[in-house]
Amino acid sequence: MLNYIKQLLNIRLALLLVGLIFVFSACGTKSDSGHQIQDTLFEDTMVSYPGRTFSYKDKFRDTQAKQEQAAKALGLSTPPKNRQEAARMRSQLSLIKSNDNYIVDSLTHSIPYLVPAAAAELERIGEGFADILQRNGLPHYQFYVTSVLRTKEDIKQLQKSGNINATTNSCHNYGTTFDLAYFRFNKVTRTREYMHQDNLKLVLGQVLLNEQRAGRIYVKYEYKQACFHITVRQ
């Protein structure tokens, strides 16, 4: 009888220890830097931007011809043929780096440079995106920059890969144009609240709509490439 009681107590103790381990592991783990990282299992409250929805296709349909005209007027006078030639033009360009508001994606067919006017516009869009989230008490997210300056050689490689939007006279060749993904966002704040990508797309779309109405950018909604194709115009 005594042995049975001891076995029962050991089983209960084991179950208690397992429960404690689960509780502590659910509370989060530490990163290499020692900072506490909250487990994404706690993201159980979806929140939304209360702005009005609108048709991206109807609002963002600035043509290739219109964007190309602005690119030639404000961008590099001679589009670079290859990466080596682009490197020699860096005095005319601004380096684009990831920051608190956006992430420069792993670029395979472009390089992270824009003419100063386009770089400043990208910063303005990032600040506008962060401002809407903050003013509405929403979690902070970053959007992704997926394409920047392309050389003629980059365009040829894209065309070979079957990208139908890789036109020979691409606005990306002039350093005035960049693409922003609308189905990929990175959450920065570690809170229980999170946002659906469709709602983050609405926030980004609202910023672009404001910039477009102010006459600062042209925007094309690219459905198949899942991005906003943007060219600075002033």
Task: Extract the tokens encoding 200.
Answer: 């983050």
Instruction: Report helix, strand or coil for 170.
Output: coil
**Whether pTM exceeds 0.85:** no
Same domain, 76 and 159: yes
pLDDT confidence of residue 156: 85
Q: What is the tens place of the pLDDT at every residue in 101-157? A: 999 999 988 999 999 999 999 999 999 999 999 999 999 999 999 999 999 998 888
Instruction: Report helix, strand or coil for 186.
Output: strand
Q: What is the tens place of the pLDDT at every residue in 60-86? A: 999 999 999 999 999 999 999 999 999
CB-based contact 220:139 (threshold 8 Å): no
Q: What is the tens place of the pLDDT at every residue in 156-168? A: 887 776 655 556 6
Binned at pLDDT 50, 70 and 90, residue 3 comes out as: low
Task: Extract the tokens encoding 179.
Answer: 């693409």
Name the phi and psi angles at 160, rounded to 5.
-65, -30
Domain that holds residue 216: 43-232
How far is residue 234's CA from residue 228's CA, in Å, rounded to a whole number? 18
pLDDT confidence of residue 39: 47
**Number of folded domains in the chain?**
2
Same domain, 22 and 104: no
Q: What is the tens place of the pLDDT at every residue in 27-66? A: 443 333 333 334 444 778 999 999 999 999 999 999 999 9
> What end-to-end distance do the CA atoms of the chain give, in Å?
88
pLDDT confidence of residue 26: 39
Pick from 144, 171, 150: nearest CA to 70: 171
Same domain, 14 and 109: no
pLDDT confidence of residue 125: 98
Same domain, 187 and 148: yes
